[in-house]
Amino acid sequence: MDLVGKAAALFGSLPALMTPEETITYEECDRKARNIASLLLKKGLKPGDIVAVVSPNTPEMALLLFGLLKAGLIAAPLNCRFPRKLTAGTIEALRPKLLITESDKPISLPGIGTQSIRSLIEESGTCPVCDTVETPENPDRSVTIIHTSASTGSPKAAVHSFTNHWYNALGSNDNIPFSPGDCWLLSLPFYHIGGYAVIFRALVSGASMAMGNPGGNISETLKLFPITHLSLVPTQLYRLLDDPESEALLRGMKAILLGGSHAPESLLEKALRLRIPLYLSYGSTEMGSQIATTQGPVNDLRRDSGHVLPFRDVSATQEGELLVRGECLFSGYLLGGAVRPQTDAEGWFHTADIGQ
């Protein structure tokens, strides 16, 4: 399915991406993505090829991710804060056909073509207007490789299919309504599953995404856009609640999704006292972001993450280890150039997390 094209057909002139400089509609996103996809395919890339991307969140990177999705290429956004040596090693393990970076002097690796995002976007803008790009229809095709946060060891390259992201977005939007007129701030990087997941939530709903300037702080960015939805980790929420202006903006939002790590009781107490519409969540890279989320803003000091969202199943071993499966579950880890499934005989993925 050409999700970017479908969103353009359904939501046309509605804003897809808001930046400090401009607002890009769904139609414009589709046109730009089509040109990017056409250019990449003309360069010899084929659907299913891996494209590594090293960049902070920028409008150009968002458009590139749209283009990769339309072309049927596998996007592998990498942590742009990694030391150069670690980045090089991660790229070599991915074996991408192309490396795209923010820098005009990208990392040079034998056998891997490189280009800066800016030059790619500029080149795509000078190409003849492309009317059509054949997007693969197979919903089980791989579309992303997102590395885990390494909370239990070395980062692992988790491969997600179109189906995984699609159903994760549907389940999220069913629990936290996200629709035309709403706007989700891209406060988490695209190389984090919680950042990339917002793209699918917007594309299936016609809502908007917003991003500030690279390096800008969230409190200043919140003042630039009509933000209704926000994803945060506890450290970010702490900082925002210490700023009276940000606190007032948070209170007026529809949903603030808190995840990534354990939320201290003192933080929850403060958020409750200030009437912040906070949703607690438990998720993982392997499940495409959220697994369980509260059904509404928390109104007490509960110590759980709500209910299991649609299209996910959760169980536990006798020892209390959480097991997950469902349409959102990733295809497997990329190891030695091949996708290796990580489920047991009954289709369960063992999370190594303890819960009940």
Residue 26 lies in a domain: yes
Identify the CATH number of the domain in which residue 36 sits. 3.40.50.980
Give 31-69 pLDDT, tens digit per residue. Answer: 999 999 999 999 999 999 999 999 999 999 999 999 999
Residue 55 lies in a domain: yes
In this structure, of 23-37, 72-86, 143-157, 304-318, the range with the lowest mean pLDDT score is 143-157
Residue 116 CB neighbours (<10 A) = 17
Residue 183 phi, psi dihedral angles, 5° rounding? -145, 125
Residue 25 CB neighbours (<10 A) = 17
Residue 255 lies in a domain: no
Residue 84 lies in a domain: yes
Here the tokens at position 47 are 């659907």
Tokens 């923010």 locate to 102
pTM of the model: 0.95
> Domain tally for the chain?
1
Give 298-339 pLDDT, tens digit per residue. Answer: 988 766 788 999 999 999 999 999 999 999 999 999 999 999
Tokens 């730009």 locate to 32
Selection from 257, 252, 254 nearest residue 223 by Cα? 252
Give 162-177 pLDDT, tens digit per residue. Answer: 999 999 999 999 999 9
Whether 101 has a pLDDT exceeding 70, the answer reads yes
Query: So what's the pLDDT on residue 41?
Result: 96
Here the tokens at position 341 are 């499934």
- The pLDDT of 190-203, averaged and rounded, is 98
Residue 156 lies in a domain: yes
Residue 67 lies in a domain: yes
Query: So what's the pLDDT on residue 188?
Result: 94
Residue 105 lies in a domain: yes
- Domain boundaries, position 141: 18-161
In this structure, of 234-243, 297-306, 346-355, the range with the lowest mean pLDDT score is 297-306
Residue 197 CB neighbours (<10 A) = 27
Residue 94 lies in a domain: yes
CB–CB of 65/191 below 8 Å? Answer: no
